[in-house]
Amino acid sequence: MKKRILIADFVETLLIKGLEERSFEVLYEPRISLAEVRALAGSLSGIVINTRTPVDREIMEAAPNLEWVARLGSGLDIIDLTEARKREIVVFNTPEGNANAVAEHLLGMLLSLANNICRANHEMRSLEWHREKNRGWELSEKTVGIIGFGNTGSAFARVLEGFQCKILAFDKYKQHYSEGYRFVEELGTLEDVVKSADVVSLHLPLTDETRQMADSQFFSTLKKGVVFCNTSRGGIVNTASLTGFLESGYLKGACLDVFENEKPKSWSQAEAEIFSTLSKMENVVLTPHVAGWTKESKIKIAKTFLKKLDKII
């Protein structure tokens, strides 16, 4: 009897075919609800998810035959890792597959912010021709601080190489990670990075340690005039604090692809007001958690997933 696998989000066809070639029965249900996942859980040996389907203790309790959970992409915060370890369920992700996509997207956001591209594009469509108003600034020779030097942090460093930036990096859980990156300076503390950087970019997982890390105290340690970037997880940032530092002019701008609450229909009045303020700021570039969302990354993620799966089956 074939082991049954649920794919609970949209994936590249080669991933489905790859599972079938490995003799799995594949249930491809990209629009499945959480209640429907729980109802199916008892028959599953594996679950493939992206961002819309959390695998919590309740699902694991309903899935006595569950052997593994695969997260397409990087963040594991939607999986109950403690419960998975308790039940000896293998959990793996595929951050290698979309790291370059995130890096290129972030670079695009930064260049758009620096050169007022979003505003100028909007004005030109209304036949408004403002040159001096849209004079930009160059990324070249700026100091960029990268917090977290894993897959996306290192990929961002690579795309910056041609801009002749001074790159400072900090990763609490790594040493000698800048080897092979001759243009990256590895510093010993977070404070050493942020006190000198013109651009600060977060590349961290969401954990108990990093949740709300970027709060008022954090922003006050940055030098005035910094551009703040987050393409990792929204929960790392206290959005109210960030908005306050932008409104005061202490921060020069922000590039945000992720948010504390990414379901607008569930926003509280306070959350809606904060986002409304952010969305009206011309020194802020916003995108809907799509930094790693490219046609190429979809294929790379599928290939990475299958390679990792082969190591555990």
Residues 262 and 141 in one domain: yes
Instruction: Confirm whether 263 is domain-assigned.
Output: yes
Instruction: Confirm whether 297 is domain-assigned.
Output: no
pLDDT tens across 225-256, in order?
Answer: 999 999 999 999 999 999 999 999 999 999 99
Residues 137 and 51 in one domain: no
State the SS3 of the chain: CCEEEEECCCCCHHHHHHHHHCCEEEEECCCCCHHHHHHHHHHCCEEEECCCCCECHHHHHCCCCCCEEEECCCCCCCECHHHHHHCCCEEEECHHHHHHHHHHHHHHHHHHHHCCHHHHHHHHHCCCCCCHHHCCCCCCCCEEEEECCCHHHHHHHHHHHHHCCEEEEECCCCCCCCCCCCCEEECCCHHHHHCCCCEEEECCCCCCCCCCCECHHHHHHCCCCEEEEECCCHHHECHHHHHHHHHCCCEEEEEECCCCCCCHHHCCHHHHHHHHHHHCCCCEEECCCCCCCCHHHHHHHHHHHHHHHHCCC
pLDDT tens across 19-68, in order?
Answer: 999 999 999 999 999 999 999 999 999 999 998 899 999 999 999 999 99
Of residues 1 and 272, more confidently modeled: 272
Instruction: Confirm whether 125 is domain-assigned.
Output: yes
Residues 104 and 22 in one domain: no
Residues 192 and 118 in one domain: yes
Instruction: Confirm whether 301 is domain-assigned.
Output: no
| Domain count of the fold of the chain | 2
Q: Could you list the active site residues?
A: 233, 262, 289
**Chosen domain end from 93, 121, 140:** 93
pLDDT tens across 135-192, in order?
Answer: 999 999 999 999 999 999 999 999 999 999 999 999 999 999 999 899 999 999 999 9
Instruction: Confirm whether 293 is domain-assigned.
Output: no
Instruction: Confirm whether 72 is domain-assigned.
Output: yes
Q: Looking at residue 88, which CATH number applies to its domain?
A: 3.40.50.720
Residues 29 and 89 in one domain: yes
Which residues span the domain enclosing 183?
Answer: 97-286
Instruction: Confirm whether 311 is domain-assigned.
Output: no
Q: What is the model's pTM?
A: 0.94
Instruction: Confirm whether 298 is domain-assigned.
Output: no
Instruction: Name the average pLDDT for the chain.
Output: 97
Q: What is the pLDDT of residue 1?
A: 85
- pLDDT over 90 percentage in the chain: 97
**Chosen domain end from 64, 93, 122:** 93
